[in-house]
A = this chain, B = another copy of it.
Amino acid sequence: MPLTGFRIIDLTRVISGPFCTMMLADLGADVIKIEPPGEGDPIRKQGAGRDGMSWYFASFNRNKRSVTLDLKAPEGRVALERLIATADAVIDNFRPGVLARLGFDEARLQEIRPGIVTCSITGFGSTGPYSDRPAFDFIAQAMSGFMSVNGGPGDPPLRTGLPISDLVSGLYGALGVCAALVRRERAQTGEHVEISLTNSMVSLLAYVASHYFATGEVLPKTGNDHPIASPYGLFRTRDGQIAIAPSDNTFFGRLMDALELPALKTHPDFVSNDLRVLHRARLTALVEEQLGHSDSEYWITKLNAAGVPCGPIYDMHGVFSDPQILAQEMVMNVPTKDHGEVRMLGFPIKLSQTPCAVRRPPPDMGEHTGALLAELGYSPAELEQLRKLRVTAA
Contact = CB atoms under 8 A, between A and B. Distances in A.
A377 interface: no
A116 interface: no
Interface in A141-169: 141-152, 156-164, 167-168
Interface string A318-359: 111011110110110000000000011111111111100000
Contacts of A125: 324, 327-328, 350
Contacts of A147: 224, 313
B209 A323 contact: no
A308 to B, nearest CB: 7
A334 to B, nearest CB: 11
A263 interface: no
A163 B125 CA distance: 25
A191 interface: yes
B226 A138 contact: yes
A143 B312 contact: yes
Nearest to A348: B203
B50 A192 contact: no
A324 B128 contact: yes
A232 B163 CA distance: 14
Contact of A138 (B174, B232, B348): B232
A307 B234 CA distance: 43
A315 interface: yes
Interface residues of A, number: 147
A268 interface: no
A59 interface: yes
Interface string A59-92: 1000000000000000000000000000000000
Given A27-B175, A143-B243, 8 more contacts: A55-B211, A128-B324, A129-B323, A159-B223, A189-B353, A191-B351, A192-B352, A195-B350
Interface of A: 1-3, 5-6, 15, 23, 27-28, 42, 46-50, 54-56, 58-59, 106, 123-125, 127-131, 133-139, 141-152, 156-164, 167-168, 171-172, 174-176, 178-183, 185-186, 189, 191-196, 198-200, 202-215, 218, 221-224, 226, 228, 232-234, 241, 243, 245, 247-248, 251, 304, 307-320, 322-325, 327-328, 330-331, 343-354
Closest 4 CB pairs of A and B: A128-B327, A149-B161, A2-B179, A142-B243
